[in-house]
Structure 1
Amino acid sequence: MINLNKNSAIWLVSDEQLNGEFRQAVSLVRQIYRKVHGVSSTTSLAYKVEAVLNCGVDISRWGRPELDALLQVTFRDSEVTLSYVDRTLANTPPSYGTALSQFFRMVFIALWGRRVLIAPLSIQTINHQVECFDMLCEKLDVESLTLIRGLHPESKIASIFKRGEFNDGSSRVNFWLRLLLSTNFYGVDDIQSEDCQKLFDSANGVGVLPLRRYYVNDFLLSVTAACEEKKALVEAIFAQYKISKLVAKPERVRLGRRVSTKVKVKTAAEESVLRSFEVAQQLASGNRDFDFKETFKAHFPSPRIREIFSLGEEGARFPFLNGRIRKYRRLRFISTPFSDLF
């Protein structure tokens, strides 16, 4: 199952079960906060969260509408505030509100791990709480979540995939985590062909695509790496896409540039250079007698020499030496100007 909606979650349990699952997730994250941050300091995150939750807020009354609003509170630059969720939170100080937003982000990840929701794409990752997040992943013990979290360079979770390429702010890892939370890929056995195809199609192709920036191809290879069958399924999707591109675009490709199959009409100047190029080939092969002065005057004026005897610089039409003996291709520079050779 894939959720490509930016703001709305897919809830996997009934309304009657939802609040109970939410309270269990809150309890789990509170335990982690108390263990990591402690509650003795008034500046600790755990103290701020406990202060708010113990000041008359009754989360046992929160249903689906309240949890939908709470999820949006955690989005980046969200205009939804805690007062939308519960009026008793309307006067929460800003620093406490920030702490609560981080706390509930972790609660929603716990709900995903407990198979309660498929998150929307706007869900945010956990910032600056390495130990708490690692502990949450260990408590949830979800195969794919542990795999993706382990890629983060600051995470203490061991991973054979933890490499230097992820040490550039870890944007790829953060995108992958958000992408994972919008799927039901709890483990490799949960990965289905149609879901992989949906993710791939949402990132590859023409136009505005919702997953263009999410490094979807590498994500799919990473989450299927433990199963050759699922990995082959993903690679088959990649191969089919390449074939479809070739069928849709029959142009020839040479040296990384697309070359149109349309016939190009040569200008008079190009025709002149072509004739001079053919003469140069005949002279180089020794197949033509010539008068040095007249031949050079007619076929090799100064503006034409660079194009004919180019070593293949960008913009050159006829790289002469590339068509001759292979060893001449190694020539890259001529120290003496061409005009001084005669």
Structure 2
Amino acid sequence: MTKPLIEVENVKKYYKQTRRQWWGKDTLIKAVNGISFTLYEGETFGLVGESGSGKTTTGQLIVQLLKQTGGRVRFKGKDVSSFSAKQLKAWRKEVQIVFQDPYSSLNPKKTVQWILHEPLALHKLGDKASRYKKMAQTLSDVGLDKSYLSRYPHELSGGQRQRVAIAAAIILEPQFIVIDEGVSALDVSVQAQILNLLKDLQQQYHLTYLFISHDLNVVQYFCDRIAVMYLGEIVELGKTAEIVKTQQHPYSEALFSAIPTLGNSSAVMQIEGDIPDASQLPEGCPFQSRCPYVYELCKREKPVFQTINDGHLAACHRIQQREEEERVL
């Protein structure tokens, strides 16, 4: 079994919401509410869920773009939240992030050469000649030639901009990359090209990915394991093939039933209403207000993770209820 690279231990991110009227009270928005999981070297781990579920916040917490309210993020066993400024700068070479919209993440006033040169200069790697060689080689690795060095982001297509963003992420040869909706802004044909490129780069650079996406078709193709997030919490986690085959949490069931499949006439499982306010989490199960299978127990007690089989976990009272019903029968 491969070694753990990233360990997320009971990580929380709360935001204080100041009262709007003088008679009101300050509230806490629980964007991420005590999640734990491990990423192993060389794997692609997917985070899925609705907008507002906490996926992007989780990715930014892991690479320390945001500081967690509680819990720990460990990289190769070391608590990165305890790093000094000098240690954190050195660690930045090992972790990178690719954002959804490369046009926003790339400096529009700078050339591709400046964009790729900046991280090399920041970490004082190589001399002028070796840096130029490194930039040209990295562009070649993402499918672009060195003539692109003189171009500006607005002169590139969406797919080319994302290739440049990926080049900027891998030029320091990191071990771990967060890909936050990295292909959702691209045409379907370009999506396939970028996903295949990411797979090739993973082998070439020995990368570990955290892949954040709402597109379950893409996640099925690209990820080794999946964690389903709802309202800042992980409700189901396991191998991709296992979760695709048999979802154990009603929220996961609803998400996967909504995947459009050619020739599939099965009904989509409907969940009513919107995701609740993260500052007013319900007592008991956070999904109770939208769940079609809700029990009285769900309104009183928050479910804990139960092991379905090796590596497949879900937090749902329905699992235990079904087991009891099967024993009675």
TM-score, normalising length from structure 2?
0.27
In terms of fraction of residues, the more strand-rich structure is: 2
Greater gyration radius: 1
In terms of fraction of residues, the more helix-rich structure is: 1
TM-score, normalising length from structure 1?
0.26
Q: Choose between structure 1 and 2 for higher RCO, CA contacts under 8 A separated by at least 6 residues.
A: 2
